[in-house]
A = this chain, B = another copy of it.
């Protein structure tokens, strides 16, 4: 296939969306846009893992409600998350009587699940699909670094895993909604970054490859988009991405670029180092703040670039570097 960009002729629509956020996220600059703000990150559950499941289930519930759907109307759900064996996703859809596709795309999962759901809807393999993902600061720290109770010090290049979730309902032929006209599936790119406290640097080359490929294949330039939205490179990764795209590919995205990890927190005021990350970061930002701005017509054309660091603590300890991936979903209204 010479042209990697996939055109979706039916332009599937986002007919429902829901977002949930944790305490720190609810104290950030876009808190008023979230559907549910939890004031306690335990969410009245007995473990951080079950708390994350609660986040995801709530986001899916709101997405269904806004689309005026029930579980019985959903033909297939695409979901994944950061936890080993993707437990929040599997357990959120357990016994819900819905065909289920489990995904692993690390922090790229919101874009990735939207991409596969929109292919299935466009290809008429289903009428109504759900795409959803979540992350939780405490479950992710426990699994990837140290339990938060240890109080270990964080590096200034590190990103804070967002406690949050987002979910979408995707259907055909609802033209007044936000539409998905084109998508691009990312490649696994590894330029040798080994610092697991600097995920932005590990993901930036994959984002650069996907963005330049998308621009080139669609014969567009950065200013054709109201926003090129990466999720989530944070402060350090965003700088690397912009420099890399100018130096290596000749594209200057600086006037239209933003990053979900920079939108969700106030980096000056909140103690979040290089910004937000985690599947729930781009999921919660897209399904709240960005959808609101698109529905208001403030943003009409957004290139949403979901970035993921396919990092395993075990394989990192074995000396391996961290591969990145970036999936693109174009959103128009």
A residues near B (Cβ < 8 Å) are 1, 4, 6, 46-47, 49-50, 75-76, 80, 83-87, 90-91, 93-106, 112, 116, 119-120, 122-123, 125-127, 184-190, 310-315, 318, 320, 323, 325
Contacts and interface: CB of A to CB of B under 8 A. Distances in A.
Given A102-B310, A185-B101, A190-B95, A323 B90 contact: yes
Contact of A100 (B87, B127, B186): B186
A47 B314 CA distance: 10
A94 B312 contact: no
Contacts of A187: 96-100
Contacts of A120: 119
A281 B222 CA distance: 47
Nearest to A128: B1
Given A6-B125, A323-B90, A103 B100 contact: no
Copies, count: 2
21 contacts: A4-B75, A49-B314, A49-B315, A49-B318, A50-B318, A85-B104, A85-B310, A85-B315, A86-B104, A86-B310, A87-B310, A91-B315, A94-B190, A95-B188, A95-B323, A97-B187, A99-B185, A100-B185, A100-B186, A101-B116, A102-B104
A1 B127 contact: yes
Nearest to A88: B315
A22 B190 CA distance: 29
A266 to B, nearest CB: 30
A323 B91 CA distance: 8
A73 to B, nearest CB: 9
Nearest to A106: B85
B99 A186 contact: yes
Nearest to A47: B318
Nearest to A185: B99
A179 B315 CA distance: 37
Contacts of A97: 187
Nearest to A190: B94
B318 A85 contact: no
Nearest to A92: B188
Given A100-B185, A123-B125, 9 more contacts: A49-B312, A49-B318, A80-B104, A87-B315, A91-B315, A95-B188, A100-B325, A119-B120, A119-B123
A185 B104 contact: no
Nearest to A210: B99
A100 B308 CA distance: 12
B188 A76 contact: no
